[in-house]
Structure 1
């Protein structure tokens, strides 16, 4: 199983007093001490195994990126992080706008980071390529809270299953070369999403882009958890079979698994986050994004019992995740836990739950 590591973002605890600013690959190739340290400590720097907030700087023409929001090609950028008190590591990358609705709606579109593979000297980084970064849609503290809410929704899914995308919270200093003043123009939180290939490798699987599936081909514990999780967070903006905000991964040949897995992502358009731009699709029988609507397959209620039991067993961890955050405001915590309260009220009312799972199932 491949462990996904990313030394370009990591912080180390020894000094190179004679060094000032370096590209990671140049430093790795030219400095034996640096190279030995990296190679002997790779296991300590798993990007998605840490909970601390990383701080980085991205330098690029954000004025151009934010105005054109071009998804067809990457523009030049430099990413930097503090190696220690005396050394700053930088890497030349490409960035471009990504996403559909948010790219058209937001002043600051989501970004895809492209790390050129051909120049990578370290073998363990050669499979690393592109990574999605989600930032604030608009400026202001309220949009910061929407972003953090979505981040914690990803973390809630991580609590319920390992078959999910991992995320890492970062604080980004944006240095806009498109503006005259040469300084960091803004600092905002963002989060990066585990690349699909890295997620699939972690689960001993590979990505499937083209095979047609029906619900019955997905393991019950997978299809039930995905649909009930989206019901819990109030998300209707997904489809397993149409692969809308969904990745499908298949077992590797050496794996004992024989069925595909559905892995959901992109949770801003849900009631638990509730951003002002999110509205339900016209075809749905709900008027507000905070109204829950079950979008799973029609199956006997008894078949859902193992998954319902999992939601009950993980209840405390889900609440603790929100309550323990020092980034969410008191109002955001109350809104998210209140929304969770309503979900567990339904779970504890068998008659109501049977109706919810049966009326709008597919």
Structure 2
């Protein structure tokens, strides 16, 4: 691929991945949401103390809906990293909506008709002041105003993006799963077709799965070997060593953390609507501000079960799928259409199978291994 074609492809990907906020004129900044100070569509909640992130109302490109989300404040193109009401959008023309702390102490999003479209939905004591603020790590936190106790936080309710200081994992005892869920498409943040999780097994490994529950998985990382995922050779590179998986067998928990170890590096991981997991990094010195450092699955053979049972996948061959020696396609019709997922079957029965079925001859060859 030529340099110009490659640059055009990257530009198209950048436009596809990163959403622009609809312009909101004359917006004011606030640092806290309190019972007496809700957030309106004309305001932004800014993270403190460094003003790294912003929370506010936005509309995806060509969308008739409005959402409350979090994005990097000083970085363009705007990158949405979390959405509150991804399943219950507001009308884009609803200028009377607000994000407020209700009488029951919850953080709630109301539309212009004062109907609740999203809530933190926790049981809290309503006889104390609650405060909602945004941290410089991008975490929206609801706190008890007197004791400072965290009552709810957005990091426990991930979207499609994995930013430093968040974790993906599970808790067997409580049944909790902290996973990434893709957008439906680039203009619709409602839950999409793919999600990323750490499976509750030993040793832990990461999977991209289809949200419709179909098996096998779309992609897997291979088991964690205490320093990296064995199925990701690139994890020997230094930038991927920022991942650390902690497992507590007694507690039944595992959590994958991500830390860039550099305040000057802005990067995150995102699961795209088509099921591709990417690590994206912002580099203001390049012609394309957001670039992909890593992605999976990257090639056809990276997708789990591309060639089915007893199939061999090679990206550098055409067709990419062949059968192991002694095997043939299970469905020649499907294979002729380059659908190899049905896999391969033995060309002839094993000698032990012939004995079981009573078809073995006395001169049959004993079974062995290639």
Q: Shorter-chain-normalised TM-score: which range?
A: under 0.3
For normalisation by structure 2, the TM-score amounts to 0.26
For normalisation by structure 1, the TM-score amounts to 0.27
- Structure 1 or 2: more strand by fraction: 2
Greater RCO (CA < 8 Å, at least 6 residues apart): 1
- Structure 1 or 2: more helix by fraction: 1
